[in-house]
Structure 1
Amino acid sequence: MLDSLISPRIMEPVKLLGVALLYALLDKFTLTYLAGNGAISMISFPSGLALAAVLIGGQRYAASVFLGALALHATTSGSTVLMSTGLAAGSALEALLGARLLTHGVKFNPDFKRLKDFLLLILLAGFMGAAIGALIGTTTLLTAGFITSADYFSSLLHWWMGHVLGIILLTPFILVWRRPPTGWLEPRRLVEVALLFGIAFLVGQVVFRGWFNDIAGPYAYGFFMFMFVALAAVRLDIHGTLCLLIMVALQAISGAIHGTGYFAADIASTHLVNYWLYMVTLSLVGVMLATYIAAESQDKELLREQEEFFRMIAENIDDLIAVLDLKGRRLYNSPSYAKLFGDLKAFQHTDSFAELHPDDRERVKQVFRETVRTGVGQRIEFRFLLADGSTRDMESRGGLIRNSKGQPRLVVVVSRDITERKKIEEKIRSLAFYDTLTQLPNRRMLDDRLGQAMAASKRNGKYAALLFLDLDNFKPLNDRYGHNVGDLLLIEVAHRITACVREADTVARFGGDEFVVMLGALTVDKAESMQQAETVAEKIRISLAEPYRLTIEPDGIVIEHHCTSSIGVVLFLDHDASKEEIIRWADMAMYQAKDDGRNLIRFYPRD
C-alpha cells in the first residue's frame, strides 16, 4: 500500500533505514534479555533478521545491517569505534555470505516447500555463513579486551551457535510470513489457533519457567513441546510451526537465564549447549514434519487436479480412453465407450479383446504384448465388433505406465473411430482407381495390374493375354436416346464382361465404349494359351451380342437394343515389350476386327 503512495526514490531509503532500526532494536533486546550476564547470546535473532533482509531485498540491505549494528555497539558502554566497526562488519559479511551461498549454485526456495530448503539454510547460511560472523566478532572482542585468549575458542563456539540458532528460527519465519496463512481468520480456525498456542504457552511455562512446580514439577519434561510442535505442523502448517518454535525458544532461554524449569542448571553445567541442541532438534523435527505434510497435501491436491483434468478430458472428447491391466482387462473406460457399447458397468474387469473383430484379435494382442514388454506404444488399426453385428474401424495407440520402481503397471489406450475416414479414403481410392459409372478399374488401375501381370509372366514363364473391346453399335443409341441410356448400356456391358472371366482376371473400362480384359497366368504353351484367350474372348463376344433391355426412369419405358463388340487380343510373355506397346497391339488387333466386318475376334500379330 505504502509503495503505491510514496515515490520509490523515497521509499527505498525508508526501507533501508527501517531495517537498520529494526536490527538495532532486536540486537538490543537480545543483549538485554537473552544474553544472561555475558556479551554473547545463545540465540541471536538479529542474525536471522539480517539474512532474511538480504535474501528479500538484495545485497544493499547489508548496509542496513552494518548501520544497525554500528549504531547499537557505538552506544554501548565501553565500546570503541574500532570494535563497533568490526562487530558491524562481521554482522554484514555474515548476512552477505549466507545469502550468497543460498542463491548461487543451489536450488533454494525461500517459501520452504521442502525439507531440503531448511537443511540448505542450516548448512550453508547457518553452519558456514555464521562462521564468518563468529570469527570476526570474537576476534574483535578479543582485540578490544572484552574476552581473554583463554576464553576465545569457547566464545567463538557460543557466538557461532547463537547465530546459527537465530538463523534457524527467525529467517524462515520472516520469509514464510511474507505470505500470510490462509483461513486463520475464520472463526473456527481462529479458535483452534488460539487454543493450540494458549495451551502450548501454558505447558511451556510449566516446563521452562516452573509454573505450578509443586504439582507439575516432577512431570515437566522438555519432550512435551515436541507434541505441540507436531500438532502445529499438522494443523497450522509451517506458519504455525515457526511461530511456536520461536515461542518455545524464548520460554526455554528465559527459564535458563532465570534458573527455572527444565534448563534451570544448563548455563552452569553445559553453558546452554543442551538448550541449543534441544532447539535445533525441535526445529528440525517441526519443520521436517510441516514440510512433509505440506508436500503430501500439495501432492494430493495435484493428484486431485490431475484426476479432475483427466475426467474432464475423458468426458468431453469423442476419443475412447481405456485403462487396462497387464493382461488386457478393463479397469476404466471413458464415457465415450457408451456410444458404441451402451452400459459401461458390464465392462469393468472384462477382457478388452473380446469386442475386437476375430480377424484382428490376435494381431492386436501381439501389439499389446509388445507394448508391455518394450514400453513403446504402437499405432494400430482394427475393428470393433458391435452387438448388432456391425463393425467400426478404430485407430489406437497404447502407452505403458510404470510404478515408482520402474515396473510395468498399467496400459492406457486411446482409440479413435475412423469409420467415416475409412469410407472417405475408400471413396477417394475408388475415384482414383475405379470408373465411377461401371465401378470397374480405370486406366490407372489397369496400368498397375498390367505391370503385375508382366512381372508374374516373367517369373513363372506363363503367357498372359490382353483383350481390347470396342462396342460396335453404341453411338446410335447415344444419339437417339441420350447419354443416360448409353450409360445404362455401358453398366450392363460391364456386368456381362465380368461374368465371363475368372475372379483373378481384370476387367477395366478404358474410356468411352472401350473395355480391356487382362487374363493372367494362362499356360507355358503359346498355342494352348491362345486357345484359352480365344475361348474367353468368344464367350464375351457372344454375351455382348445378346439383346439389351434398358429401362428408362422415371417413365419405365423399356428399350431393346442390339449391340455387338470387336475384340483385339495380344499374348505376352517374358519379353521386352512395354505396357504401352501391349495395349497398342491389342488396340490394333481390335481395329482389324472392325475392318474385317465387326463382331469379330482378331489376334496380334495376325498370324
Structure 2
Amino acid sequence: MPAYFVAGWLGLRIPYASSHITLVWLPTGIAVAALYRWGIGLWPAVYGAAFLVNLSLGPSSPGLAAGIAVGNTLGPLATSWGLRRLGFDGRFAQRRHVLLFLGAAAAGMLLSSIGGVFNLHLAGLLPVAATSSAWMSWWMGDTVGVLLAGPLLLLVNRSTWSALLARRRECLLWLLWACLVGWFAFVHDYASSNRSLPMAFLTLPLVAWAAMRLQRLGAAVAGFGFSVLAAVCTGLGHGTFYLADAQIGLFLLWSYMSVTMMTGLMIGAMQAEREDVEHILRQSEERLKDAQQVAQVGNVEWDVLNDRLWWSDQYWRLWGLRPEEHGEPTMTLYQQGIHPDDWPQAEADFRRAIKTKTSFSSEYRVVWPDGSVHDVRSIARVILDEHGKVSRMIGTAQDITEQKRRQADMQRSEIKFRTLYDSISDAVMLLGEHGMLECNQAALDLFGCKTKVQFLQAHPAREMSPPQQEDGSDSATLALAHLERVKREGALRFEWLHRRLDNGRVFPAEVWLSATELDGKPCVQGIVRDITERRLAEQQIQWLAFYDELTKLPNRRLASDRLGQALAVSRRNGEHGAIMMLDLDNFKTLNDTQGHDAGDRLLVEAATRIQACVRQQDTVARFGGDEFVVLIEGLGLDEAEAVPHAETVAEKIRTAFDAPFQVATGGAAGGRAFRTSCSIGVVLFKGQELSIDELLKQADVALYQAKGAGRNTARFFSPEMQAMIESYSAMEAAMHQGLQSQEFRLFYQPQVDQKGRLIGAEALLRWFPHEQHPVSPAQFIPLAEETGLIVPIGSWVIQAACAQLQGWATQSSTRELVLAINVSARQFRQPDFVKLVRDNLQRHGVNPALLKLELTESVVLDKVDEVIARMMQIKALGVTFALDDFGTGFSSLSYLKRLPLDQVKIDQSFVRDVTTDPSDAAIVRAILAMSRSLGMQVIAEGVETKEQLAFLSEHGCEHYQGYLFSKPMSIDDWARMSLVDLAAPFSGMDPAVSI
C-alpha cells in the first residue's frame, strides 16, 4: 500500500509525543477504507506497510517496528470488521452510518494505541509515568486520522467525482472563500490575542455549504482540507491552535478536526435523507398518476361555495383536453364535455346530492373535442362544513368505454356460446340440488327427448337409468354416492348405464362430473358420452386378445390360462394330462410358392381337422404362424394308462393330415390340392410340479426331436431331456457368482422416430461368465425370475442405467436420449422399489424424464389398484412408463386407460408376421388405433424388414426398434455408432409414409 507508507512516513516526520507518536495518523484512515472496500484479506499489505513505516525511523529496531505494526494492523482490521458486522454503508447517506463510523473508529483505535504504547514501553523508549498521556495522544491521533482519511477515501468513486466536477464553478467559488477563511483562521498569528480561537470556527459555515451543495464528498474534502491546514499550521507554530499551553492547543485542534469532519458528514447525511424522502414522495406522486392513468380514473374537487374546480391530470385526459390550452377547469368546461342528452341527468344528480347531502354514482357519455364519444362512470360525495352546510364535493371519474365494449362482447359471446353449446356432440347438462337445470341439444338427442321440459323433469338416476348398474348396484344409491364424491373432490369420471326416455333402450356411457356454481349456488356439470361403439371395439380387442382371428382358435394367452386351470385340476384329482405342440411340415414352401392366402386357407383347414380329432372339453390353440397346441385332460391316474391315450390322439391328428388340402380359390373343382403333414411333440403333466412355461418348453423340445426324426411323426419328452433342466441349478449358482464378480453388462439397442432420428435406447442385460461363452438372456432371465435373483440383478440394472444417463448428460449428442429398462414383476412389487428408483436418480443427478420403466402386462394386471398407486408414486418423480409386449397378455381397454402409461410397445411376435399374417396385422392396427385414442405413444419392437417398417409407418406407428436399425451393442460400440446407418432404412420410402 504505497499511500499508507507515504502518509505514514510524512506523519512520522512531524512527531508529537515521541518519534513514534504523531499529531494525526492518516494511515489508519487509509487502512480502514482499504480493508472495508476490498476486504479484510488485505491485512498483510497493511501490516507490511506499517512495518516499513516504523522501520524507517531506525533500521536497528526491527522488533519494535514489527510490534507496533501489529497494533497498527489490528486497529483498522477491527474497525472494518465491526463496520461490516453492524451493516455500515460507506456512502454515509444516513446519520446512523456516520455515528457507526465514529464509534467503530474510536473503538478500533484502542487496539492500535494500546499496542503502540505497550511496545514503546517494552523497548525502553517510554517511561511508565508517560504512558497515559502517550496513550491518549496515540489514540486521538489514530482516531482523528480515521475520521479525516476514511470518509474521503470511501466516498471517492467515479459517480461522486463526476457529480463534483459538474459543479466546478461553485467548487471554485467555495475554494476562494476557503482560502481566505483558512488564512485568517490558521496562517495568521494569533499568539498575542486571547480572542483568536473563534476564527477557526468560521470554517464551519463553509463546511456546511460544501455538505449541502457539493454533497457528501464535498463535505469530506472540506473537512479534510481544513483539518490538514490547521494541523500543518499548528505544527509550524501559526494559527488559532498554536497556544502557549501546548496541551490545550493540541486538545482544541483534535476537537476542531473531529467537530469539523463530523459536522460535514452529519449535514451531508441529513441532506441525503431529505433527498431520499423527497424522492419517495415524488415516486408516490408518480405512482398515483400512473395508477390513475392505467386505471383511467381521475379525481375532482368542487368548491361549492366559491364555484371553483380542481382536476387531476387524468381527469383532463378523460375529457380529452389539455390543461395548458384551457387553464383552470370550470363548471362550464365540465358541462361542455358531457353529451347534451346526458347533461340533464348529470345536473339532476348534482342538485340532488347537494340537497340531500348524500353521495351518488352515475354513468354518462363524454364527447371529446375530436368528436369521439366515451363512457364515464362518476362517483361523488359531499363534504359538510362545521355548520352542516355543503362546502365541497369530491369525486372520481373512470373511463368505462372498454368495459362497456367488453359487456357488449360478452353478450355476443353468450349468444355464440349458446350456439356452440347446443352444437357440442356430447350431452352436456347442469344438475342442481332439486333436479336438472340446463342441457344442450345433444342431451335431448341422446336420451330421446322431444322437448327440453321433458328432459329437465326427468331424474338422471331414475327415469334416465335402469334400476341397477352393471355391477348390480342400485342406480339411485350409487348416483347419490357419486354426487357426494364430486362435492368432496371437485370432479369425477366413471362409466354408467343410461336409458333413453323414448324407447327404453339401455346404453353404456362415460360420464364426467365437475362441481361448479350458478348464480352463487353450488351445482354439478355433467358430460355424457355414448360409448356403445367403443365397448364393441373393446370387445373386439378383447376377443382378439384371446382368440386367433384367422382360425378362431384360442391363442397363446387363452391356452396358457386353460393350461394353468388344467394343472390345478390335475393336482386335485391326480390325473395325468398332455400337451401336444404341432408344427405343419413344409408350410413355408406353400407360402412362398402359392402365396399367403393359400397358407391362410391351409391353416384354417388344419385347425378344423385337429379339432375333429379331440374331445369337446379338450383345447386346440394356435400359438402363431403354423404352430398349434393341443391340451388334453383326464388321461388317467397312471402314466402307463396316459401314454397310450396320448399316443392315440397324436396318431389320429397325424392321420388326419393324410388327406390333401384344397388351398386354391374355388375348392376341389377349381383349385389345386396340397399335401402336408405335421410333427408333434408331446409332454405329460400331473399336478403343478412344473410351470406352464417349463411344460411348453418340454413340448417344444419334443417337437424339435420329432422334426429331427424326419417330420410327420410324434415324440414324447424323454427323461434324458431333463438333463437340460437340471443344468439350470448350475446356472443359478453361476449367476450368484456372476453378480458378485460384475459379469453382467448392459447392451443398448437404439430406438428411432419416424425420420430415423435417434431418440433413445433400450438397455438389455447380457451375461459374460468368466472364461466362458456369453449366456443368452432367454436362458438366465427366466431362471433369475424363478429364483428371486432378478431382484438384486434388477437393482444393479437401475443403478447402471442411471449411471449411463449421467454419462450421456455430459455430451450434447446424447443428453436428451431416453433410456428404457425392463422391470420384472417381482422387482416392481418389492416394498422399497420406489425408494430404489428415487435414490438412484438423486445419486446420479439424472433427469427423471429420461428414464423409462417398461412393465409387462403380468405386472400391471395383478392387484391393479396397488400397481396404479405405485406407478403414480414413481410418476411423481418424473419417470415415464411403457407397457412392454402389449397384446400378448390379459390387458383390456378398461385397465389400459386407468394405468398412468406414456407408451405402448407392440410385441415383436405381432411385428414378425405383420406382413404375412392378417390376424397379426389386425391386432397391430387395433393397438395403434386404441393407443391414439388414449393419447399414448407407440413403439414397435423387433422390426427387421423394410416391409414391416413400411406397414407400421403407414398405420401411424411413431417409434421403432429392431435389427433393421441396429443390434444391441456395448457402450463402446455405441460411441462408434453411425446415425446415418440408423436412418438408412427410411431411404426410398414414401415421405407420406415415413413422416
Higher helix residue share: 1
Does structure 1 retain, via aligned residues, the 8 Å contact 2:148–2:220? yes
Judge which range, 162-171 or 299-308, deviates more: 299-308
Which of 255, 258, 268 does residue 277 from structure 1 map onto?
Answer: 255
Match of 1:113 in 2: 93
Which of 155, 160, 163 does residue 139 from structure 2 map onto?
Answer: 160
Which of 3, 12, 32 does residue 13 from structure 2 map onto?
Answer: 32
Structure 2 gaps, min length 5: 335-344, 368-372, 380-393, 422-427, 438-447, 464-995
- Cα deviation for residue 229 of structure 1 reads 0.6
- Partners in 2 of 1:117 and 1:27 — Cα distance? 27
Match of 2:200 in 1: 222
Q: How does 1:524-563 map to 2 (within 5 A)?
A: none
* Aligned residue type for 1:151: A
Does structure 2 retain, via aligned residues, the 8 Å contact 1:43–1:163? yes
Shift of the 217–63 alpha-carbon distance from structure 1 to 2, 3 Å rule, reads same
Which of 222, 239, 260 does residue 244 from structure 1 map onto?
Answer: 222
Q: How does 1:462-481 map to 2 (within 5 A)?
A: none
Q: What is the SS of the residue equivalent to 2:90?
A: coil
* Aligned residue type for 1:579: Q
- Cα deviation for residue 148 of structure 1 reads 1.4
- Partners in 2 of 1:291 and 1:205 — Cα distance? 28
Match of 2:24 in 1: 43
Does structure 1 retain, via aligned residues, the 8 Å contact 2:25–2:144? yes
- Partners in 2 of 1:193 and 1:118 — Cα distance? 24
- Cα deviation for residue 215 of structure 1 reads 12
Deviation sequence 1:381-430 (CA, Å, 0-9, x none): x7523479x9948599xxxxxxxxxxxxx999876541122223334456
- Cα deviation for residue 303 of structure 1 reads 4.5
Q: How does 1:370-381 map to 2 (within 5 A)?
A: none
Match of 2:46 in 1: 65
- Cα deviation for residue 230 of structure 1 reads 1.1
Q: What is the SS of the residue equivalent to 2:210?
A: helix
- Partners in 2 of 1:55 and 1:349 — Cα distance? 63
- Partners in 2 of 1:413 and 1:171 — Cα distance? 56
Judge which range, 65-74 or 192-201, deviates more: 192-201
- Cα deviation for residue 112 of structure 1 reads 1.9
* Aligned residue type for 2:251: V
Match of 2:406 in 1: 421
* Aligned residue type for 1:162: G
Higher strand residue share: 2
Deviation sequence 1:275-320 (CA, Å, 0-9, x none): 21222122121111122223333444554466556556655x4722
Which of 162, 173, 193 does residue 195 from structure 1 map onto?
Answer: 173
- Partners in 2 of 1:138 and 1:340 — Cα distance? 78
Match of 1:590 in 2: none
- Cα deviation for residue 170 of structure 1 reads 0.5
- Partners in 1 of 2:197 and 2:271 — Cα distance? 30
* Aligned residue type for 1:115: R
TM superposition score normalised by structure 2 = 0.35
Q: What is the SS of the residue equivalent to 1:222?
A: helix
- Partners in 2 of 1:514 and 1:393 — Cα distance? 45
Deviation sequence 1:464-487 (CA, Å, 0-9, x none): xxxxxxxxxxxxxxxxxxxxxxxx
Does structure 1 retain, via aligned residues, the 8 Å contact 2:113–2:139? yes
Q: What is the SS of the residue equivalent to 1:132?
A: helix
Which of 95, 100, 118 does residue 139 from structure 1 map onto?
Answer: 118
- Cα deviation for residue 207 of structure 1 reads 1.1
- Partners in 1 of 2:221 and 2:322 — Cα distance? 59
| RMSD (Å) for aligned C-alpha atoms | 5.0
Q: What is the SS of the residue equivalent to 2:363?
A: strand
Q: Does 1:346 align with 2:325?
A: no
Shift of the 277–347 alpha-carbon distance from structure 1 to 2, 3 Å rule, reads farther
Q: Does 1:295 align with 2:280?
A: no
Match of 1:176 in 2: 155
Match of 1:122 in 2: 102
Deviation sequence 1:221-280 (CA, Å, 0-9, x none): 222011111111122111221111111112222333233321111752426222212221
Q: How does 1:557-596 map to 2 (within 5 A)?
A: 579-580=457-458
Match of 1:268 in 2: 246
- Partners in 1 of 2:174 and 2:322 — Cα distance? 56
Matched residue count: 401
* Aligned residue type for 1:70: F
- Partners in 2 of 1:270 and 1:411 — Cα distance? 69
Q: What is the SS of the residue equivalent to 1:107?
A: coil
Match of 1:150 in 2: 129
* Aligned residue type for 1:346: T
- Cα deviation for residue 40 of structure 1 reads 1.8
- Cα deviation for residue 116 of structure 1 reads 2.0
- Higher RCO (C-alpha under 8 Å, 6+ residues apart): 1
Match of 1:98 in 2: 79
Does structure 1 retain, via aligned residues, the 8 Å contact 2:191–2:242? no
- Partners in 1 of 2:227 and 2:332 — Cα distance? 57
- Cα deviation for residue 159 of structure 1 reads 1.2
- Cα deviation for residue 165 of structure 1 reads 0.9
Does structure 1 retain, via aligned residues, the 8 Å contact 2:4–2:27? yes
Shift of the 387–243 alpha-carbon distance from structure 1 to 2, 3 Å rule, reads closer
Match of 1:565 in 2: none
Structure 1 gaps, min length 5: 1-18, 370-381, 397-409, 437-442, 454-510, 517-569, 571-577, 585-607
- Partners in 1 of 2:156 and 2:72 — Cα distance? 23
* Aligned residue type for 1:71: L
Which of 22, 35, 38 does residue 3 from structure 2 map onto?
Answer: 22
Judge which range, 32-41 or 128-137, deviates more: 32-41
Shift of the 79–416 alpha-carbon distance from structure 1 to 2, 3 Å rule, reads farther
- Partners in 1 of 2:32 and 2:405 — Cα distance? 67
- Partners in 2 of 1:77 and 1:98 — Cα distance? 29
- Cα deviation for residue 58 of structure 1 reads 1.6
Does structure 1 retain, via aligned residues, the 8 Å contact 2:29–2:145? yes
- Cα deviation for residue 433 of structure 1 reads 7.7
* Aligned residue type for 1:168: L
TM superposition score normalised by structure 1 = 0.55
